[in-house]
Amino acid sequence: MLTKILCIIGPTASGKSACAIEEALERRGEIISVDSRQVYRGLDIGTEKITTEAMRGVPHHLVDIRDAKEKYSAGDFVVDAKRLIGEIAERGKLPILVGGTHFYFNALLGGLPMGVDTNLELREELEKLSDEELYARVRSTDARRAGELDPKNRRRLIRALEIIEAKGAVPARPAAAPTYDVEWLVIDPSREELRTKIDARLANALAGGLIEEVRRVRTDVGDARLNELGLEYKIIGEYLRGERDEASLLPTLSAKLWQYARRQKAWLRKLASEQGAGNGVESA
């Protein structure tokens, strides 16, 4: 019998964490964070990390398990998540996976992409290109993979081009046998509601010390690593280096996060199409 898990997904600022707490309290669950940044200690305000008080006694896993200088990959997540799902189920609890890092969900439930060795010479060449040039190169050689990528995620763009160089295209993952009995709970607010929530979240974060948090993280990890830690840290890093003024932060971050949320909503639509309303995809 497959292990039952509940996956709660939705775009940024949609209220996934609060929903997960309610589900965990009602259904005797423990929460596994599916967030590529909340694994890092010190990235609290920028990632809207849940506080101990807000957890309401519900155990949370894969939060604050790495220093920001360290790398945490999808492969690391799959290993940790599989272990935790087994341990939680053995305790007679429901594993609840919640977060917005859809690549992690895909890796856990569909398998990791086919391995290709690192090409240091190619990477050195690609690092000289802008994000826009990298994305254009992926799109011109593998439109399917380009449609799955964040055009601003340099690491994944470069990795895609590395695989394309080796194989001609990024292989689509074959349908895998079900690993878990998955129930999906999708939180998908309207465009207007989501934009309002994103703007409110950003205003609260900036008022609550986000700039100082980024300043501390930058001191610890440096600018190159800071740029890998997400939009909030990259954009505010530009401000700290004198490359933009403070007045530009809120409108720039709002526009960038809305673009990110739109890509997340597109993934939700794709999931619903693949799974179907009759296969455990439920909207909240």
And the tokens for 56? 């309401």
Q: Which amino acid is at 81?
A: A
Domain 192-259, CATH among 1.10.287, 1.20.120, 1.10.600, 3.30.230: 1.10.287
Note the pLDDT of residue 113.
62
Q: What angle do CA 196, 194, 197 make, to 5 degrees?
A: 45
User: Which residues lie below 8 Å from residue 269, measured CB to CB, with a gap of 6+?
Assistant: none
Query: For 1-30, what is each residue's pLDDT tens digit?
Result: 899 999 999 999 999 999 999 999 999 999
User: Which residues lie below 8 Å from residue 237, measured CB to CB, with a gap of 6+?
Assistant: 214, 218, 223, 226, 227
Measure the CA–CA gap between 244 and 200, rounded to whole angstroms: 22
> Which whole number is the average pLDDT over 139-151?
87
Measure the CA–CA gap between 284 and 12, rounded to whole angstroms: 15
Measure the CA–CA gap between 30 and 61, rounded to whole angstroms: 8
Q: Indicate if the pLDDT at residue 225 is higher than 50.
A: yes
Note the pLDDT of residue 250.
96
Query: For 93-115, what is each residue's pLDDT tens digit?
Result: 999 999 988 888 988 988 776 56
Q: Is 11 helix (H, G, I), strand (E, B) or coil?
A: coil
- The backbone region for 222, taken as left when phi is positive above 0, alpha when psi lies in -120 to 50, beta otherwise, is left
Note the pLDDT of residue 173.
65
The total number of residues shown for the chain amounts to 284
Using a 10 angstrom Cβ sphere, with 0-12 exposed, 13-18 middle and 19 or more buried, the burial of residue 211 is middle
Q: Indicate if the pLDDT at residue 166 is higher than 50.
A: yes
Note the pLDDT of residue 40.
97
Note the pLDDT of residue 156.
83
Q: What is the dihedral of CA 55, 59, 62, 65, to 10 degrees?
A: 90
CB < 8 Å & 24+ apart, contacts of 124-132: 126/158, 126/161, 126/162, 127/158, 131/157
Note the pLDDT of residue 274.
65
The mean predicted confidence, pLDDT, of the chain is 89
Note the pLDDT of residue 282.
54
Confidence of residue 59 (pLDDT cuts 50, 70, 90): very high
Measure the CA–CA gap between 61 and 97, rounded to whole angstroms: 9
Confidence of residue 268 (pLDDT cuts 50, 70, 90): confident
Query: For 169-206, what is each residue's pLDDT tens digit?
Result: 887 765 556 789 999 999 989 999 999 999 999 999 99
Point out the least confidently predicted range of 56-60, 80-84, 173-177, 242-246. 173-177
And the tokens for 264? 């997340």
Which phi and psi angles does 98 have, rounded to 5°?
-140, 135
For the chain, give the percent of residues with pLDDT over 90: 63
Q: Indicate if the pLDDT at residue 279 is higher than 50.
A: no
> Which whole number is the average pLDDT over 62-74?
94
Q: Indicate if the pLDDT at residue 213 is higher than 90.
A: yes
> Which whole number is the average pLDDT over 215-239?
95
Spans of all domains in the chain: 3-112+177-189+267-283, 120-167, 192-259
Fold assignment, 3-112+177-189+267-283:
Rossmann fold (3.40.50)
Q: Give Rg (Cα) of the chain.
A: 19
Q: Indicate if the pLDDT at residue 277 is higher than 50.
A: no
pTM of the entire structure?
A: 0.80
Note the pLDDT of residue 169.
81
